[in-house]
Structure 1
Amino acid sequence: MAWFAKIEAGIVDKKTFDQYVPDHKQYVQELINEGHEAKTGYWGEYGGGMLLFKADSLEEAQAIVKQDPLIVNHCVKYELHEWCVVVE
């Protein structure tokens, strides 16, 4: 499995964003339970964050990201990148 990074920036107000955070956290926990080794967090400054996870392909990674409640509810814009780890 390869690592992927979804780098996101918020596009809605904090109140709207915050209402979907519990669903996002549950979604990430489900990814962890499925073996994707997901980790999620936010930037220290307002307005975005990152999701790291493993997937078998870019196509699978894209499908995973499209299920994120923050994407489904149009709370963030994002970029998806394969992250090539050089040191573990």
Structure 2
Amino acid sequence: MSIFVCLLPMLDAEKSAQFREEHLAHLDRQRSLGRIIANGRFADGWGGMVIYKAESLGEVKAWAENDPYVIKKARTYDIHEWDMVSEHFKLG
């Protein structure tokens, strides 16, 4: 099992707002299948990020390509395998 970071840069803020609920439902389905470690949007409006666990880059690419944000061209995606140093961290 590997960890992959899927960046979702903004293409169209209006479409992003329009399809947000569909995107979140997609992520909820992925989470219920145990595929998502974390997700969220960037505070500066750049877009968002999803951290997946998967067997291959191909799996994550298929999941990203089925995200309503990507299908509706609200966002694009860029995936990178991530060698996470620690699974435990504290904020502040």
Alignment TM-score, normalising by the size of structure 1: 0.88
1:40/1:49 contact within 8 Å kept: yes
Q: How does 1:8-47 map to 2 (within 5 A)?
A: 8-12=8-12, 14-47=13-46
Aligned twin of 1:5: 5
> Which amino acid in structure 1 is aligned with residue 62 of structure 2?
A
> Which amino acid in structure 1 is aligned with residue 59 of structure 2?
E
2:36/2:50 contact within 8 Å kept: no
CA deviation after TM superposition for structure 1 residue 9, in Å: 1.4
1:79 and 2:74 are equivalent in the alignment:
no
2:86 partner SS: coil
2:77 partner SS: strand
C-alpha RMSD of matched pairs (Å): 1.3
Aligned length: 87
> Which amino acid in structure 2 is aligned with residue 67 of structure 1?
N
Aligned twin of 1:56: 55
- Return 5+ residue gaps in structure 2 as ranges: 88-92
Alignment TM-score, normalising by the size of structure 2: 0.85
CA deviation after TM superposition for structure 1 residue 51, in Å: 0.9
2:85 partner SS: coil
CA deviation after TM superposition for structure 1 residue 78, in Å: 2.0
1:77 partner SS: coil
> Which amino acid in structure 1 is aligned with residue 64 of structure 2?
V
**Percent identity of paired positions between Structure 1 and Structure 2:** 26
CA deviation after TM superposition for structure 1 residue 47, in Å: 2.9
Would you identify which runs of 4 or more consecutive aligned residues in structure 1 move more than 4 Å? none
- Return 5+ residue gaps in structure 1 as ranges: none
Q: Kindly tell me: are residues 83 and 2 of structure 1, through their superposed partners in 2, closer, same or farther at Cα, counting changes over 3 Å?
A: same
